[in-house]
Amino acid sequence: GIQVEQSPPDLILQEGANSTLRCNFSDSVNNLQWFHQNPWGQLINLFYIPSGTKQNGRLSATTVATERYSLLYISSSQTTDSGVYFCAVVFTSGTYKYIFGTGTRLKVLA
């Protein structure tokens, strides 16, 4: 069936470390977004990236649509990066609906 899987499920980093989060999807997609859900529950847009590479400060993302994955890079992590990171996709087949991934829970230690 249609799946959006993220890895790793949990990640603990020391402040200043770099990390790569992965999102795998089971079919071709039209849209893909990365979100950060902070400890207060707010979903914050990081990237809208159905294909290609984008960068915003310490964060960057790459989506290789033909190989059905997307990567989120966090460099020089800060404690404020803690929270849950979700990717969300709209599959090309079927109805237009964003499907959220399983999430990566990140904790950055001071």
Partner 1 sequence: EAGVVQSPRYKIIEKKQPVAFWCNPISGHNTLYWYRQNLGQGPELLIRYENEEAVDDSQLPKDRFSAERLKGVDSTLKIQPAELGDSAVYLCASSQYNEQFFGPGTRLTVL
**Which residues of this protein are in contact with partner 1, per CB under 8 A?**
30-31, 33, 35, 40-43, 45, 48, 50, 86, 88, 90, 95-98, 100-103
Closest to partner 1 by CB, 53 or 76: 53
Residue of 86, 36, 25 lying closest to 58 (CA atoms):
36
**Quick count: other Cβ atoms within 10 Å of Cβ 30?**
12
CA distance 4 to 31: 13
Least Å distance, CB 66 to partner 1, is: 19
Residue of 55, 58, 51, 47 lying closest to 25 (CA atoms):
51
Closest to partner 1 by CB, 18 or 92: 92
Closest to partner 1 by CB, 51 or 76: 51
CA distance 108 to 13: 5
User: What is the β-pairing status of strands 104-109 and 10-14?
Assistant: parallel
Least Å distance, CB 110 to partner 1, is: 25
Least Å distance, CB 107 to partner 1, is: 15
Least Å distance, CB 45 to partner 1, is: 6
